[in-house]
Amino acid sequence: MSVSQFGRAILLTGVTAGFLAGTGIANAGCAQTDLVGNWQFYIVTFDGSNVTDAGWVRCGVNIGATAANNVRLATGAVCKLDTGANVAITTTGSTLTVSPACSVTGTIRTNVANLTAAQITMSLDQTRLTGVGALTGGQLFMLNAEKY
């Protein structure tokens, strides 16, 4: 399997997981308040050009409600990279929104890169997020998150 095939396999796995997670969710009735709280994000990154460019990021994120149609990431959230470095999430412009059909959109901004949701779905019990997106610079990511 070539590196690009491997990258497509990872992306396909994430898209399939997001699709399967979303098949019964349309009637779940998600609301903005379902995003509010403490989350642990686990993110796998890959740019498709070299398997050594794959990496992971773990973020403890506190999401607080600031407006009826918008959820902002609270200050103090930090991501730990696979290199051991810590990266703070920037609250300006870091927003996540959930639709009544449990589709999550938005961007998480850091001083290193922005993560933009392409297809992220909230679970039926509103405690998990699964999906895919893109990072600044063209890398792709697959996200799993757990509310605690």
Q: What is the DSSP letter of 74?
A: P
pLDDT at 85 > cutoff 50:
yes
Burial of 145 (C-beta count, 10 Å sphere; 0-12/13-18/19+)? buried
Query: What is the spatial distance between Cα 117 and Cα 33, in angstroms, rounded to a whole number?
Result: 19
20-69 pLDDT tens trace:
444 444 455 898 889 988 899 999 998 777 767 788 989 888 887 665 44
CA 122 to chain CA centroid, nearest Å: 11
Could you give the percent of the chain with pLDDT greater than 70?
72
Q: What is the DSSP letter of 124?
A: T
- pLDDT in the model for residue 91: 74
| Distances 72 to 9, 32, 37, 42, 51 between C-alpha atoms, Å | 32, 11, 11, 19, 33
- pLDDT in the model for residue 76: 56
- pLDDT in the model for residue 145: 95
Residues, the chain = 148
pLDDT at 19 > cutoff 90:
no
pLDDT at 71 > cutoff 70:
no
Maximum CA pair distance of the chain? 47
